Amino acid sequence: MLYLGREAFRRAQYTILENGRELEKRLFAYHFMDGPANNVVEEIAGYQNVDGGFGKAIEPDFRLPESSPMATSIALQHLVHFDDLPLAKGVISKAISYLDNTYVSERKGWFAVPRTVNDYPHAPWWECDEEKKMCAIDANWGNPTAEITGYLSKYREFTNLDVDELLSQAAGYLESKNTFTSFHEIFCFVRLYRLLDEETAASLRPKLSEAVCNLISKDEEEWRTEYVAKPLDFVTSPEEFFCVDRELIEKNIEYYISELQTHGKIKPTWSKSFYDGEMSRAWDEWVAIITLRVLLILKSFGRIIL
């Protein structure tokens, strides 16, 4: 069995400290160096706007300073791990209020970003179509609506929306799908699933397992060169494998360890050419984000030896 050793870990640490934002640095310190949890929450709170939503390029691919449901969902991905802290509770309650206020009843959900995203540097996939009044991400309803529904379910005390109706709609949408084309949408459903009580989560598991196994790539060369969903994009700990074969999980673990041993980092598989000019720093930010994400997965599987 292959493990990530001290030298490769230190090289990955250097990558995060050299390329990462203060957020990634504080997350690394919290998870690997007993850093204070409050330091992480304080840094996340710095991305929050007065309306309670998040912006300020917490999602590196669009540099929109004002709030968006997508950026708010990314902040909440972190905050759920710190919600026992008083500071986090206040930040979360304001975020939920923002999501209440940006709910679009005609869509029965949320649009990922406002049209003003076009006024700031952004990757092409975040361009808002003025005619359709949405970006390409919005073609898949569940991204980020399914994920946001999970946060509203977890923090019901802060929302005025009908959470049970939102959950029923999300479940019905997922169940109705016969083909799966967006792994990002299924990422959102997986995050929803992990925020639910066991009974409700169990009702989503069969269809979610079907989606995961339809979308993952099993080809290591694709993992290295193409923008595909890897097994460990869905299975981030030994607690939940969905339908993914354990040998495939092991193959993905060893792939990541090998990449870190060779390069000391995990780079995006999408092209750096998207990041010219004012977007150039986003590439380095992604290197740090992805490298940290992989270290946390390896930690959860007990595959780091220091």
pLDDT of residue 271: 86
Threshold 0.85, pTM exceeds: yes
> Per this entry, what is the length of the chain?
306
pLDDT of residue 225: 94
Rounded-to-integer distance, Cα 114 and Cα 99, Å: 13
Locus of tokens 């007990």? 302
What SS3 class is residue 130? coil
pLDDT of residue 239: 87
Pairing mode of beta strands 134-135, 128-129: antiparallel
pLDDT of residue 196: 97
150 closest CA partner among 102, 112, 101, 204: 204
Below-50 pLDDT ranges, the chain:
none
Q: Are 260 and 8 in contact (CB under 8 A)?
A: yes
pLDDT of residue 226: 95
Residues contacting 17, CB < 8 A, separation 6+: 25, 28
pLDDT of residue 240: 86
